[in-house]
Amino acid sequence: MNFIKTLFAIEKTPRKGLMALEWVVLVYMVLTLLMVFFTFTKLANPEAMIWGRIRIGVITAALWLVYRLVPCRFTKLTRVVTQLYLLSWWYPDTYELNRILPNLDHVFAQAEQSVFGFQPALVFCDAMPSPWFSELMDMGYASYFPMILAVTLFYFFCRYAEFERASFVLIAAFFIYYVVFVALPVTGPQYYYPAVGMEKIAMGVFPNVGDYFNLHSERLTSPGYANGIFYQLVEHAHDAGERPTAAFPSSHVGISTVIMLLAWHSGNRRLLLCLLPFFVLMCFSTVYIMAHYAIDAFAGLITGAMLYFGLMWVSGRYLR
pLDDT (tens digit per residue) in 189-231 = 999 999 999 999 989 999 999 999 998 889 988 888 888 899 9
pLDDT at 290 over 90: yes
Q: Which residue has the higher pLDDT, 3 or 48?
A: 48
Average pLDDT on 229-236 reads: 91
pTM: 0.95
pLDDT value for 1: 65
Residue 119's nearest CA partner among 206, 181, 247, 196 is 206
Average pLDDT on 138-148 reads: 95
pLDDT at 120 over 90: yes
CA dihedral over 86, 92, 96, 100, signed as positive or negative: positive
Residue 259 to residues 81, 128, 145, Cα–Cα distance (Å)? 15, 28, 11
**CB 28, CB 63: distance < 8 Å:** no
For the chain, what are the domain ranges?
A: 2-318
**CB 254, CB 177: distance < 8 Å:** yes
Amino acid sitting at position 218: E
Confidence of residue 14 (pLDDT cuts 50, 70, 90): confident
Average pLDDT on 123-148 reads: 93
pLDDT at 320 over 90: no
